[in-house]
């Protein structure tokens, strides 16, 4: 395999293009999901308090699992990113680095 030399060559490499576009897409999607999650929660509090005040079971209101769920989901999003990065991104990075010979 021929070694990639210049910065331009690496940037034009298919594997590099694939890893950068994949990372941008995943980062963007997850960022938007996080924004929707949190500001959706805030919007519910601001505009639909009765919904959050409904009883789920016993004294527990729907608002409680929604708030805790926002925390847990945020963490799960970071987990999704890690899973993708460890299994896909790192592999592509390694491949590109091998091509450079570094």
Partner 1 sequence: MPQASQTIIGQFNPVAVMFFILFVITTLGITYWAAKRTRTTKDFYAAGRSVTGFQNGLALAGDYMSAASFLGIAGLVSTKGYDGLIYSVGWLVGWPIIMFLISEPLRNLGKYTFADVVAYRLNQRPIRAAAAAGSLITVLFYLIAQMVGAGTLIKLMFGLPYEVAIVVVGTLMIAYVIFGGMIATTWVQIIKAALLLGGATLLVILTMAQFGFSYGDLFAQAEAKYTAKFLEPGGLVTNPVDAFSLGLALMFGTAGLPHILMRFYTVPDAREARKSVFYATGFIGYFYILTVTIGFGAAVLVGQDIITSIDKGGNMAGPLLAEALGGNLFLGFLAAVAFATILAVVSGLTLAGASAFSHDLFVGVIRRGVAAEKEEVKVAKIATIGLGVTAILLGILFKGQNVAFLVGLTFAIAASANFPALLMSITWKKFTTKGAVASIYTGLFTASILIVLSPTVWVDIIHKSEKAAVEKEIKAIETASKEKINALEQQKATTKDVAVIDASITAEKQQADAQIKEAKAKMPKAIFPLKNPGIYSMGAAFLIGILFSLFGREKEAEAKYDAEKLRSYIGIGAE
Element (H, E) at 53: helix 49-53
Judge contact between 7 and 102, C-beta under 8 A: no
Residues 16-75 that bind partner 1 (CB under 8 A): 16, 19-20, 23, 26-27, 30-31, 34-35, 37-39, 41-43, 45-47, 49, 52-53, 57-61, 63-64, 67-68, 70-72, 74-75
Q: Does the footprint of partner 1 cover residue 1 (CB under 8 A)?
A: no
Rounded distance between C-alpha atoms, residue 23 and residue 28, angstroms? 8
- Residue 13's nearest CA partner among 21, 84, 90 is 21
| Closer residue to partner 1, CB minimum distance, 2 or 20 | 20
The Cα-based distances of 41 to 21, 74, 89 in angstroms read 30, 12, 31
Chain residues that interact with partner 1, rule: CB under 8 A? 7-8, 10-11, 16, 19-20, 23, 26-27, 30-31, 34-35, 37-39, 41-43, 45-47, 49, 52-53, 57-61, 63-64, 67-68, 70-72, 74-75, 77-79, 81-82, 85-86, 90, 93, 96-97, 100, 102
């Amino acid at each position: 395999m021929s070694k990639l030399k210049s910065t331009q060559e690496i940037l034009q490499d298919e594997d590099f293009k694939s890893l950068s576009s994949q990372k941008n897409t995943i980062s963007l999607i997850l960022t938007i999901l996080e924004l929707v999650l949190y500001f959706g929660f805030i919007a519910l509090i601001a505009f639909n308090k009765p919904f959050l005040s409904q009883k789920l079971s016993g004294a527990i209101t729907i608002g409680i699992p929604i708030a805790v769920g926002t925390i847990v989901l945020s963490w799960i999003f970071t987990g999704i990113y890690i899973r993708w990065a460890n299994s896909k991104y790192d592999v592509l990075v390694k491949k590109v680095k091998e091509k450079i010979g570094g």
